[in-house]
């Protein structure tokens, strides 16, 4: 689910009180550097495809994202995060959420606000995009299962649109095919999107599939460079956006 610079974060503290002999709550402790994690990415993509539908020309665009994670003290495996995503002048997304690690994998809950300079309609553009659109989402991912699958549900508060998306990924060393020092990452995803009602009176439902194949290489500590090929397909009946899209991208990921 579409799924592109992003981010900020929150902090949480817990104070205890003795029921029989009240004591002053301990002063909040400043977060150590290990509590915070900053990640970023920059890429050039030949197309902007969101949930199976191409939302740009074939001229290409630059995309950037920033994510800040904060591990919550006293809550093992729990973290808060904020993300900022920018795709040239086409769109920006602000995301805030919380994650919790479990034995099976991870649970995720969040809110995202997507903005665009110009509203798009199905009739004129083949897809619906508001200048401001808010979504809530929840998802789970499984760490100890083949392809490390994840399942997410999204609901647009403005479009009154529900989206369910499943995805999985697999990586293996490039040395297995003679590319020593590289890694190969494959991803697949599929979803269903349904807008039974809309503020734009644009009721629409469709399914979509997608896959990517990336060749990556670690550079120094916390940096990764890559190039990839992507494919997406949707079952929507819109003349301008139906069918499949194929595109390439080059990217760099960083972690601090």
The DSSP result for 131-170, as a single string, is SEEEEEEEEEEETTSTT--EEEEEEETTTTEEEEEEEEEE
pLDDT band of residue 60 (cuts 50, 70, 90) is confident
Beta-strand pair 223-234/204-219: antiparallel
Per-residue model confidence as pLDDT tens digits over 187-235? 999 999 987 665 565 667 899 999 999 999 999 888 999 999 999 999 9
Q: Check pLDDT > 70 for residue 11.
A: no
Residue 24 φ/ψ, nearest 5 degrees: -60, 140
Confidence tier at 86 by pLDDT (50, 70, 90): very high
Residue 163 clears pLDDT 90, i.e. is over it: yes
Residue 26 has pLDDT above 80, yes or no: no
Residues linked to residue 224 through DSSP beta bridges, in sequence order: 218, 253
User: 239 falls in which pLDDT band (50, 70, 90)?
Assistant: confident
Q: What is the rounded CA–CA span in Å between residue 60 and residue 68?
A: 27
Residue 83: the pLDDT is 97
Whether the pLDDT of residue 33 is over 70: the answer is no
* Contact call for residues 190 and 2 (beta carbons, < 8 A): no
The pLDDT-based confidence of 58 (bands split at 50, 70, 90) is: low
**pLDDT confidence of 35, banded at 50, 70, 90?**
confident
Whether the per-residue pLDDT at 67 is higher than 80: the answer is: yes
pLDDT over 70, % of the chain: 82
- Tell me the pLDDT band of 122, cut-offs 50, 70 and 90: confident
Is pLDDT above 80 for 178? Answer: yes
* Residue 152 exposed, middle or buried by CB count within 10 Å (0-12, 13-18, 19+): buried
Q: What is the mean pLDDT of the chain?
A: 84
What the chain holds in terms of domains, given with CATH numbers, is: 33-255 (2.40.160.40)
Give residue 154's pLDDT.
Answer: 97
What lies within 8 Å, CB to CB, of 221 at 6+ separation is: none
User: Residue 117 pLDDT more than 50?
Assistant: yes
């Amino acid at each position: 689910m579409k799924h592109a610079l992003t981010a900020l974060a929150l902090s949480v503290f817990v104070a205890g009180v003795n029921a029989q002999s009240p004591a002053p709550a301990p002063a909040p402790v400043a977060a150590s550097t290990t509590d915070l994690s900053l990640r970023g990415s920059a890429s050039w993509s030949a197309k902007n495809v969101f949930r199976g539908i191409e939302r740009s020309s074939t001229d290409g665009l630059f995309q950037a994202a920033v994510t800040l994670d904060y591990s919550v003290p006293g809550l093992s495996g729990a973290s808060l995060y904020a993300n900022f995503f920018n795709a040239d002048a086409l769109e920006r997304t602000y995301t805030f959420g919380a994650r919790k690690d479990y034995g099976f994998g991870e649970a995720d809950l969040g809110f995202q606000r997507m903005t665009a300079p110009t509203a798009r309609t199905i009739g004129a553009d083949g897809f619906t995009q508001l200048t401001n659109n808010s979504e809530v989402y929840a998802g789970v991912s499984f760490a100890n299962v083949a392809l490390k699958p994840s399942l997410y549900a999204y609901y647009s508060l403005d479009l009154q649109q529900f989206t369910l998306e499943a995805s999985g990924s697999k990586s293996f060393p490039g040395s297995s095919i003679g590319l020593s020092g590289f890694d190969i990452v494959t991803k697949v995803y599929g979803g269903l999107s349904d807008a039974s009602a809309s503020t734009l009176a644009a009721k629409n439902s469709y399914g979509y599939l997608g896959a990517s194949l990336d060749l990556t290489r670690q550079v120094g500590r916390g940096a990764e460079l890559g190039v990839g090929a992507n494919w997406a397909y949707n079952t929507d009946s819109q003349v301008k956006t139906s069918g499949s899209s194929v595109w390439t991208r080059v990217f760099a990921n960083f972690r601090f």
